[in-house]
Chain A
């Protein structure tokens, strides 16, 4: 259901202010969403003054700097720092993206950093993605081949392989799904752009023999048709993929094919 305001326990309060101690003249204010699960308190926004003269170019570098030099209690996920693992997905300057590939120079004014939108927060910038992973499992993201005697590799033409471009590169960072208002209001039933892009990836795979079943499974008022082409997903994707188009292609297949 559409719920515009936040529940009482989620209202964001003003937090602490960390003044700069380096004496640098090139300072930037970073507002970070904080929530500590060991207390009963509401989430808060802590503000850090960060010395930009000694900070590399990405938002993740700012977070690392805060954690290493100012406040070691800050919690966030990160791993590869090269836009490959998808761990550091968060909301920066009002838009979802990977902290390791988003330059802080892209954001004007103070930098607001929030966890991915409309998730249950585990701590600070870490959201709970269990629901999304369960939905991902529900589309059975593996190759299905009905023959039991298949022992050699399954050939695929260059054209068929090319169909997977733009779908297989997804790193499941959840930037798109958590940017989608439809997914905010109906996340328990609507599969969301990330999972639907993967559903599409297996539907169009020429080696997969379960195409019809897959299409049937996804053809559902709530699972698929909650996409209203708001296109937040496509504009949020840090890998430049187009989940909205993939969803449109699934809709088109269902409208034209005899499933």
Chain B
């Protein structure tokens, strides 16, 4: 009887919007932790003068640098909106299945729209 198997769990369980938002909230949280470190380095390089600042500026202008910047913008947007959703839930609202679906979709699409908006703001298009 010792050798009882464990029934399958995450391998078979269907994903839905709330579980997706929840796991993404964690992942973006970890990304943001590293992102803040990167931003700290950025500031430190700024303080060290123009030539040093140029190094990180050159890096951020490469394709990888731009990808990282846009990625960070998205993960910050996602975290912020998801955190607001959590705040409302902490007050005990928004637990009905339909509402969680709507707020979850709002977080997912809102974070993408926010990223695009911030991108254009930074480029001076708005």
Contact = CB atoms under 8 A, between A and B. Distances in A.
Nearest to A229: B89
B98 to A, nearest CB: 11
B80 to A, nearest CB: 17
Contact of B7 (A4, A42, A127, A251): A127
Contacts of B8: 6, 10, 12, 33, 114, 117
B19 A37 contact: no
Contact of B13 (A37, A42, A91, A127): A91
Contacts of B9: 117-118, 181, 184
Contacts of B89: 229, 248
Contacts of A21: none
A43 interface: yes
Interface string B86-121: 100111100111001000000000000000000000
A252 B90 contact: yes
Interface string A102-124: 00000000001011111111100
Given A229-B22, A248-B90, A248-B92, A184 B10 contact: yes
Given A119-B6, A229-B89, A248-B92, A114 B12 contact: yes
B3 interface: yes
A242 interface: yes
Given A229-B89, A242-B96, A249-B92, A181 B19 contact: yes
Contacts of B123: none
Q: Main SS of the interface on chain B?
A: loop
Interface in A122-154: 122, 127-128
Interface string A42-71: 110000000000000000000000000000
A6 B11 CA distance: 9
B13 A179 contact: yes
Interface residues of A, number: 45
A22 interface: no
Contact of A10 (B6, B13, B91, B92): B6
A95 B14 contact: yes
Interface of A: 4, 6-7, 9-10, 12, 33, 35, 37, 40, 42-43, 91, 93-95, 112, 114-122, 127-128, 179, 181, 184, 228-232, 234-235, 242, 244-245, 248-249, 251-252
Closest 10 CB pairs of A and B: A94-B14, A10-B5, A245-B95, A117-B9, A231-B18, A118-B9, A120-B4, A115-B7, A230-B22, A10-B6
